[in-house]
Amino acid sequence: MARVLGISAFYHDSAAAIVIDGKIIAAAQEERFTRRKHTADFPANAITFCLDQAGLDIDDLDAVVFYDKPLLKFERLLQTYYAFAPKGLISFLKSIPIWLNEKLFLKRVIYNGLKEIGHYDKKKLKLLFSAHHLSHAASAFFASPYQTAAILTIDGVGEWSTASIGIGEGANIKILKEMEFPHSVGLLYSAFTYYLGFEVNSGEYKVMGLAPYGDPQSEETDTYISAIRTRLADIKEDGSLWLDQSYFGYATGLRMVNHRKWEELFGFKRRKPTDGILQHHCNLALAIQTVVEEVVFKMALEAKSITGADSLCLAGGVALNCVANGKLYKKQLFKNLFIQPAAGDAGGALGAALAVAHMYFDVKRPPDDEDQMAGSYLGPEYTDSEINILNRKTKAVYTKYESFLDLAGFIAEELAEGNIIGWFQGRMEFGPRALGNRSILADARNPAMQMLLNTKIKFRENFRPFAPSVLAEDVDRYFEFDGRSPYMLLTATVQNERRKALPENYHNLNLQDKIYLERSEFPAITHLDFSARLQTVRQEENPRYWGLINAFKNITGHGILLNTSFNVKDEPIVCSPTDAYRCFMNTAMDYLVIGDFVYSKAMQPGWGKSEKTQD
């Protein structure tokens, strides 16, 4: 038996995962427990949860594995500063003490962190380190249903690698080709994230959401695309690229870009986070999205060429770009496509554990062709007793349903009447997407819902789109799509007969007028280009969520709901019933459902933002 704990930490999105004989038992991000979004802290809470879920102590583990190799990363840091010297001296002097104290001696930090969780015999504990992109590759391939597949990983940077192509066969992965720092698709996209006024390592999806507001027919957009291709990035036929480092500062500096050169290249200064969004910002977002889609497809084409595989597995932060994924899927370059739902650094914890289980302990892959992620429902769940603790502490007023059919019927009626529902069920999702267990739900047909959710519930930018959850058996009624998208990592186009015609002056409208145009029968989930980030829901994967959507279909004739993550801006997705109730009471949600308990906002005792409860 191989019992392996995987850890990712100290950069961003710390997480832990536990794997027993190749089976994924549990996985969770540390941010969900500490309520500090994208935390880099040692994942003590996530580790404790994983051990409890597996019924293990630290001494029961056969190995603990960290998701990258800090000595190689330190080597890259030193060589990079040496290559660019004397440029970057201030950054060097600031970062080296941190490396020496915290990251270079990572074994000691991990041992001490584990000691805080529980007593163990250090002499018996096997501590291993997996290469960063191998961790990404393993997270996708070993979790996929395929026995043989090409593997493509794309992110900012691991130790040296920024992208890799590999082949997975049975219980083995071989990396065939890598692109190295400082040339990086992920860092290129992050540089534009920064220049457009969003936060690096968390705001990239905002750039993706802003891109459809760009004008594809605009000469300005074409100029931006040309500038990226000719001045910033030399893109090769295999998808690798060379970035002109005179335009960037991330290699040795404290800034992503050379502001002066970017202003000269694009004709405007970096947008401050508090500034309004203008058309040239939208056009620049569209330009970089277009270029990244081109690069991802070329990399996939190269993976196909050198592996000859019929299936492709994707991981790394860039694999969360669902627009690029959707276009890659539509080209049908591969017969099968699997994208790790926790594709970023959090998923590295899982990948490291899977890599050690299969490639170190020689655990065989399961013979069946099943997705090993179990719908990504790998986090904590809560009993009725634990929910009742919340009820007593908050004096919450609730109705407990004995029949799920009755509960689903009632909530479906409220959704159809325009109410907004906080939906908290079963095990929490692993990864950045809410997939029906920690979700906020609404009627996708309601034209006011996008504005209401962004301003009164999520407290975020009003251009941000929302995603649909649709019954898997009904997906082709609404979208030009005939496959599966259980993890909300593919975009699909709304069926032509469901669309509404755009006005002739559409591209001349300002951003605010474009946002609230009704583009389809389901305006709350239809983006400007008639696309939607799609989740298909199967009864066997999530019977309660499927049951609710089906109940909504019985009332309205449509098996489709708006689904967004159960959180507000700058906070992680809720983990516990207390998190859910707090978020519910401090937003304009109408109902909260936790398991079989239903809470109406109108019936709750007053609860100000300063009041807190403990689990």
Alpha helices in 516-610 (DSSP H): 543-556, 577-585
CB atoms closer than 10 angstroms to residue 497: 9
Q: How confident is the model at residue 528 (pLDDT cuts 50, 70, 90)?
A: confident
> Is the predicted pLDDT of residue 607 greater than 60, yes or no?
no
- CATH code assigned at 236: 3.30.420.40
Averaged over 236-255, what is the pLDDT?
89
CB atoms closer than 10 angstroms to residue 465: 21
Averaged over 441-448, what is the pLDDT?
96
> Is the predicted pLDDT of residue 191 greater than 70, yes or no?
yes
Q: Is residue 366 part of a domain?
A: yes
**Residue reference for tokens 């019933």:** 577
Asked whether residue 515 falls in the same domain as residue 433, the answer is yes
Q: How confident is the model at residue 97 (pLDDT cuts 50, 70, 90)?
A: low
Asked whether residue 231 falls in the same domain as residue 307, the answer is yes
Asked whether residue 150 falls in the same domain as residue 123, the answer is no
Model confidence pLDDT, tens digit, residues 146-175: 999 999 999 998 888 999 999 999 999 999
- CATH code assigned at 539: 3.90.870.20
Separation between Cα atoms, residue 271 and residue 550, nearest integer Å: 44
pLDDT score recorded for residue 50: 98
Q: Is residue 615 part of a domain?
A: no
> Is the predicted pLDDT of residue 67 greater than 50, yes or no?
yes
Asked whether residue 179 falls in the same domain as residue 126, the answer is no
Percent pLDDT > 70 in the chain is 93
pLDDT score recorded for residue 550: 98
Asked whether residue 284 falls in the same domain as residue 417, the answer is no
Averaged over 502-525, what is the pLDDT?
86
Q: Is residue 557 part of a domain?
A: yes
> Is the predicted pLDDT of residue 609 greater than 50, yes or no?
no
> Is the predicted pLDDT of residue 254 greater than 70, yes or no?
no
pLDDT score recorded for residue 221: 97
Asked whether residue 150 falls in the same domain as residue 197, the answer is yes
Q: How confident is the model at residue 414 (pLDDT cuts 50, 70, 90)?
A: very high
Question: What type of residue sits at position 99?
Answer: W
> Is the predicted pLDDT of residue 348 greater than 70, yes or no?
yes
Q: Is residue 613 part of a domain?
A: no
pLDDT score recorded for residue 323: 96
Q: How confident is the model at residue 532 (pLDDT cuts 50, 70, 90)?
A: very high
Asked whether residue 189 falls in the same domain as residue 134, the answer is no
> Is the predicted pLDDT of residue 71 greater than 70, yes or no?
no
More confident residue, 509 or 338: 338
Q: Is residue 612 part of a domain?
A: no
Averaged over 287-307, what is the pLDDT?
98
pLDDT score recorded for residue 25: 98
pLDDT score recorded for residue 515: 84
Model confidence pLDDT, tens digit, residues 537-549: 999 999 999 999 9
Mean residue pLDDT of the chain comes to 92
Asked whether residue 365 falls in the same domain as residue 509, the answer is no
pLDDT score recorded for residue 103: 61
Q: Is residue 378 part of a domain?
A: no
Asked whether residue 525 falls in the same domain as residue 576, the answer is yes
pLDDT score recorded for residue 369: 76
pLDDT score recorded for residue 505: 81
> Is the predicted pLDDT of residue 233 greater than 90, yes or no?
yes
Q: Is residue 49 part of a domain?
A: yes
Averaged over 73-98, what is the pLDDT?
62
Q: How confident is the model at residue 88 (pLDDT cuts 50, 70, 90)?
A: low
Asked whether residue 496 falls in the same domain as residue 561, the answer is yes
Separation between Cα atoms, residue 580 and residue 380, nearest integer Å: 13
Model confidence pLDDT, tens digit, residues 366-400: 877 789 999 999 999 999 999 999 999 999 999 99
601: closest CA among 422, 357, 465?
Answer: 422
Write out the two tokens for 445.
Answer: 């047909």
Q: Are 613 and 390 in contact (CB under 8 A)?
A: yes
How many structural domains comprise the chain? 3
pLDDT score recorded for residue 611: 41
**Residue reference for tokens 């660019």:** 84
> Is the predicted pLDDT of residue 603 greater than 90, yes or no?
yes
Asked whether residue 65 falls in the same domain as residue 163, the answer is no
Separation between Cα atoms, residue 225 and residue 219, nearest integer Å: 10
Asked whether residue 353 falls in the same domain as residue 430, the answer is no
DSSP string for 116-156: HH----TTT--EEE--HHHHHHHHHHTTSS-SEEEEEEE-S
pLDDT score recorded for residue 106: 85
**Dihedral of the CA atoms 523, 529, 530, 531 (nearest 10)?**
-100
Separation between Cα atoms, residue 594 and residue 437, nearest integer Å: 10
Q: Which residue range forms the structural domain that includes residue 483?
A: 384-603
CB atoms closer than 10 angstroms to residue 608: 7
> Is the predicted pLDDT of residue 98 greater than 70, yes or no?
no
Separation between Cα atoms, residue 56 and residue 299, nearest integer Å: 41
Radius of gyration of the chain (CA): 24
Model confidence pLDDT, tens digit, residues 214-230: 999 999 999 999 999 99
Separation between Cα atoms, residue 474 and residue 512, nearest integer Å: 32
pLDDT score recorded for residue 207: 97
**Residue reference for tokens 């409890």:** 52
Q: Is residue 614 part of a domain?
A: no
More confident residue, 504 or 458: 458
